[in-house]
Amino acid sequence: MTISEGDTLPQTSFVTMTEGGPQPIDHDAFFKGKKVALFSVPGAFTPTCSAKHLPSYVEKADELKAKGIDAIGCTAVNDAFVMGKWGEDADGVTMLADGNGAFVKAIGLDFDASGFGMGTRGQRFSMVVNDGVVEHLNVEAPGEYKVSSAEHMLGQL
């Protein structure tokens, strides 16, 4: 079943890269009591993700925060090493590795990309999460990049 607006995010954890190596991020520590802009990309370093999706949130981080967003998170079914490297210049965005795809599976937004040699991946989407509850959910049609952009989210806030 796919998560919907009004649903509470499931208790899963992400991993982020720190100076000391990969470290888990507790679900409640990231979402509890905060309004979070969370977006998912099918893969770090992929063309649309690198050229448009991540840059839109980096460029609009201050505008999102001015509209009440406390934190911005980018997730992908990649390991923390890949996400850490990809996010080196992503100021204002926390890179959240979902290496085994547990998060996207739990919310029903995973897909099979094995035809491209990529295994299970997360769909391209964005959501506004307020204290762990999904306020806005924007899931892209396959191959699209429109409703999951930072620009679209700004219009929703």
Concerning whether 74 is annotated as a catalytic residue, the answer is: no
Kind plus residue range of the DSSP H or E element containing 58:
helix 54-59
Sorted by sequence, the CB contacts under 8 Å of residue 149 that are 6+ apart come out as 52, 53, 56, 126
Question: Under 8 Å CB-to-CB from 52, ≥6 apart: which residues?
Answer: 145, 149
Looking at 17, 36, 49, 69, which residue is catalytic? 49
Pairing state between β 21-25 and 120-122: unpaired
- Annotated catalytic residues are 49
